Chains A and B, each alone.
Chain A
Amino acid sequence: MVESERDLRCGDLEVGCVVSQPGNARFYRTGDWRSFRPVVDRAKCIGCGVCYLLCPDMAIRRRADGTFEADLYYCKGCGICAAECFTGCIQMVPEEE
């Protein structure tokens, strides 16, 4: 099982580059595309899960303490979670900061 398409070599590709292994899109590191990352102020988060529901990439996961945070391997930084969060506890922070 590969972790990323960058681990694949020519010889690993199937004829015609078909994908016969189900669900391997999860190895796509779409987080590379991000220029802003969502940062959650956990003190303000009420754990409503709206960000989790509305993230178009299903890149938000629930933590053990009931709050939610972005999985930066996938988060593309679109900012929808920050715009929709009721409590305004998500801030989009430029990646270089």
Chain B
Amino acid sequence: MGKRVGIEVSIAAADAVAMADVDVVAAYPITPQTHIVEHLSELVAEGELTAEFIPVESEHSAMSVCCGSSAAGARTFTCTSSQGLALMNEILFIVPSMRLPVVMILANRSLSGPLSIWNDHTDVMSVRDCGWVQLFVENGQEVFDHVLFAFRVAEARSVSLPVMINMDGFILTHVIEPISYWDKEAVERYLPAFEPVNRLDPDHPMTMGAFAMPGIYTEARKVQNDALIAAMPELIEAWEKMGELTGRCYRPVERYAVEGAETVFITMGSIGETVSIAVDRLRGQGRAVGLVKLRLWRPFPFDALREALKGVRRIIVIDRAISFGGPGGPVASEIRSALYGVEPRPEVLNMISGLAGRDVTPEDYIAMYETAMAAEQWKPEDYVVFGARE
């Protein structure tokens, strides 16, 4: 394995993209993602990375360029946050429908308004149904590993879909962490050359992104959905292969102290580490509590989730976005749906917390646990906007 360094996670993420020998980077700077593309532009300017760095005038153009370059057979990367994601929305949905393996880091930040630059998951939840493989990482090492993972999975000929890595803004992008780099040989073994399924080629003309009449649109959408679901074995294999190479094992659903747990937290992203501290303390007091972390959001890991929650009576889902006028948070709503047919069906309480960078400490999670345990009867629609001063 390569060197282990203390480094800002954004810089390490950019280094991982460079190690993947990316061909095209098209991006527009937006806080808190800026350091990633800024460092990539430096690597290109200094000749350390041979790639086209395309400084576009907006995120709509960034994703459009990515769409074109990936269609031409170039390994393609972009990165954005919040409003930038909102601006690229139109093209975001087209990339997977064309089965183009673009890789994007989304440095998660709250959506306006009120205007905020801080971290939560309101940006990614606004594009839940865009058709990308979507995963969440917990720390800097996971970011580095998953850049290489994302290219491998996206470009696998059986998958050929874009992959979005969700990385908490500031909490991960702007901190310095110890990160084990991969050496060149490991990257070469893990990530084969990009052999696109379709490529724009004057010698073999084809139409990409064509119009579809009502007589075929339904079939096109079903095929796209099937392809995303069918990506699961490739995702698992890519994680297993990484485990062999690096000793770090990842799964679609991660468990922490779930042995004998009656109550579990469910988290996504960097807060998993904070909740694990709360779980350790509660376990120290003899409380039967554990933690389940959703790493993979799309395709949704139904089987792995049900397996991880076997025997659990109560679930506290931490959501970092609100589905306005709906069932509380989007994650809890999907967990409830996934568990609807499970007998006996666990109770689900939804805690919406940590919006726009509001600090949530282990003590807060312990308080959420106490609130949950004190609730006499949970109703399926229950949710709490934790910490809101009323």
* A, B bound: yes
Is A73 close to B, CB under 8 A? no
Is B197 close to A, CB under 8 A? yes
List the interface of chain A (C-beta within 8 A of B).
4-6, 8-10, 13-20, 22, 28
Q: Which residues of B contact A15 (CB under 8 A)?
A: 99, 160, 197-198, 227
Question: Assuming A15-B99, A15-B160, A22-B205, is B216 touching A8 (CB within 8 A)?
Answer: yes
Q: Which residues of B contact A18 (CB under 8 A)?
A: 98, 198, 206-208, 210
A10 to B215, CA, bound (A): 11
Q: Which of B70-115 contact A (CB under 8 A)?
A: 97-100
Min CB gap A74→B, angstroms: 13
Q: Name the prevailing secondary structure of the B interface residues.
A: loop
Q: Which residues of A contact B226 (CB under 8 A)?
A: 10
A8 to B210, CA, bound (A): 15
CB–CB B219/A16 < 8 A: no
Is B212 close to A, CB under 8 A? yes
Pull 23 A–B residue pairs with CB atoms less than 8 Å apart, ordered by A. Answer: A5-B212, A5-B213, A6-B215, A6-B216, A8-B215, A8-B219, A9-B219, A10-B222, A13-B216, A13-B223, A15-B160, A16-B100, A16-B160, A16-B197, A16-B198, A16-B208, A17-B98, A17-B223, A18-B198, A18-B207, A18-B210, A20-B204, A20-B206
Q: A15-B198, A16-B98, A19-B210 are in contact. List 17 more A-B contacts (CB 8 A).
A: A5-B213, A5-B215, A5-B216, A6-B215, A9-B219, A10-B222, A10-B226, A15-B99, A15-B197, A16-B100, A16-B197, A17-B212, A17-B223, A18-B198, A18-B206, A18-B207, A20-B204
A48 to B154, CA, bound (A): 57
A18 to B220, CA, bound (A): 11
A28 to B205, CA, bound (A): 20
Count of CB-CB pairs between chains A and B under 8 Å: 53
A17 to B98, CA, bound (A): 7
A68 to B198, CA, bound (A): 42
A84 to B155, CA, bound (A): 54
A28 to B216, CA, bound (A): 11
Q: Closest A-chain residue to B198, C-beta based? A: A18
CB–CB B197/A17 < 8 A: no
Q: Which residues of B contact A5 (CB under 8 A)?
A: 212-213, 215-216
